[in-house]
Chain A
Amino acid sequence: MNIIACVKQVPDTEAQIKVKADGSGIEEGQIKWVMNPYDEFGVEEALKLKEKNGGDVTIVCVGPARAMETIRTALAMGADKGVHICDPAFDNADAFVTANALAAVIKPLPHDIIFCGQRAIDDDSGQVGSMLAEALGLPQLTLVTKLDFAGSSVKVIRPIEGAQLLIETALPCVVTCQKGLNEPRYASLPGIMKAKKKPVDVKNAAAVGTATDVKAKVAKTVPPPARPPGKIICGDEPAQKAAELGRLLREEAKAI
């Protein structure tokens, strides 16, 4: 089985995000970079499929030089090889540019199933998986929380508002992963040692050959709107505080 897992390197969820004074992006100095948590579910699912059915797992990543660390993490978890699409031309890539670059690299590789995170927790766009599926002409299954492989097809569970769908799709397909799919493993020490010797093919924009001009551009990054300072509700007894809170919610906030 030939399995692809796409990964992105993002700031850790605990990172404080500071906007640059000129609005051109965020301050990257203090940030701890990690594998996008939703991509970890994809790597784990890929490894589980490989362990059960044989085959190999290829990691594909678009990102600057530091993203190599994230590829090595995936290799240390057990993936076999990597492709790193690395070029300053991709620094401000939107989902469309990223997806087309991924597609160009994945197309010539044998692929039965392709995993992506349902979204990256930096730009929160949630577009790349679907755009990659379109670029490759494959069906997409987004937000998957359970996956059963059945030879030439997969059956998945996909939560929607107020229901879950059980969907069957013929392979190859693109699956985007949601929390709940699995518990990603930690890289073992021998895994980390082995990962250093696993092959990673680094490709620049010319080698990838797809356009790098974006369709949607972040013209400006701004801090979130400030909230006016809140009120601490005073009172001697919990009952008194609850009564005052109820009154304020009703009369002032008009929230109930």
Chain B
Amino acid sequence: MAKGVMIVAEQRDGALRKISLELASTARKLADQTGDEVSAILLGSGIEGLAAELGKYGVDKVFVGDNAAMEPYITEAHAAVVAKVVKENDPAILLLGASVQGKDLSSRVAAKLAAGLATDCTDVKLDGGNFVAIRPMYAGKCFGEIVFNSAPAIASLRPNVFPAAENAKAGAVVKVDAAVDAQKSKVLEVQKDTSGKVDLTEANVIVSGGRGMKGPEGYAILEELADVLKGTVGASRAAVDAGWRPQKDQVGQTGKVVSPNLYIACGISGAIQHLAGMSSSKCIVAINKDAEAPIFTKADYGVVDDLFKVVPELTAVCKKLVA
């Protein structure tokens, strides 16, 4: 009988990613409801030391696959080891991050296990002993309640949505064999983004600009505000399609779906496809000259004024507040 909650922890360059702690805490909460154990799978090379940190966040047991073959990440190699550990330990539910790597891995693992997978969930709960996953569909225009006809159930959790809370457990290391056959894919190069900015999907604060920025140079004032708030600059599809901002900055149904603590929309009218991508943000601010702009229907705070006047003033105010 499938039992317990298992997570797949994610690390990069020898450090746990924040989503791993969110996974551990969510797993702990679920497992405490059924009196079960939380276990984690941790794969990489020279990463055994990270098990203790997972323990701090509520993990009882960590299956560590420490092998050069696990680094850098290749889908098929990781999926083979994860599927093997899951089969041997038979958890009731497997949780992964809905990060780039977690999404890539979760669907491959689900196919290997012939198990149901709910992607990018914003809640996972127990209902009469069965797991129910809540997830946005149509980029958040509606939500689905997903039930599973498989053991394990598999869910990937949207980053930045589930709280990470310390709750010390043993974090006992169980070594697993992570040797795999030669892979058909090979990572030739990792080109790191040197801007020092957090990716939009992981940012706590996003300052976003749309058509109202009038051109690429307009974004300088958004960069300044984002710097003060330690945030990342995003853009609407209109701004990206106009070539003002790179593809990776696009927020919306055909870009990134984001859920920061604070989303500041500047000169964005709020086309439905943009609203879909940011309406799960915890606090939304809209700054726009047009009082009728649909963005104001989603905003917690609205400023109807010229953004080129308001944003620099706001930057000055925030500078004092965070000092």
Contact = CB atoms under 8 A, between A and B. Distances in A.
Interface of A: 11, 13-17, 19, 26, 37-38, 94-96, 99, 121-131, 133-135, 139-143, 145, 155, 159-170, 173, 179-180, 213-225, 227-228, 230-233, 238-239, 241-243, 245-246, 248-250, 253, 255-256
Interface in B95-109: 99-101, 103-104, 106-108
Given A124-B257, A127-B117, A166-B189, 17 more contacts: A13-B272, A15-B272, A124-B119, A143-B104, A145-B247, A162-B192, A170-B185, A219-B146, A220-B145, A224-B279, A238-B309, A238-B313, A239-B313, A241-B305, A249-B301, A255-B283, A256-B205
Contacts, number: 270
A120 to B, nearest CB: 10
B110 interface: yes
A179 B255 contact: yes
B139 to A, nearest CB: 6
B190 interface: yes
B1 interface: no
B137 interface: yes
Contacts of B22: none
A219 B316 CA distance: 49
Given A127-B107, A180-B247, A245-B285, A215 B148 contact: yes
Contacts of B205: 255-256
Contacts of B141: 16-17, 224
A15 B141 CA distance: 10
Nearest to A239: B313
B185 A168 contact: yes
Nearest to A142: B104
Contacts of B76: 139-140
Given A161-B199, A217-B146, A241-B305, A13 B183 contact: no
Interface stretch (B52-60, B173-181, B211-219, B292-300): B292-300
Q: Is the interface of A mostly helix, strand, loop or mixed?
A: mixed
A94 B317 CA distance: 49
Nearest to A159: B248
A143 B100 contact: yes
B150 A215 contact: yes
A233 B321 contact: no
A142 B100 CA distance: 9
B191 A163 contact: yes
Nearest to B279: A224
Contact of B304 (A19, A134, A232, A253): A232
Interface string B150-184: 10010000000000000000000000000000011
A168 B186 contact: yes
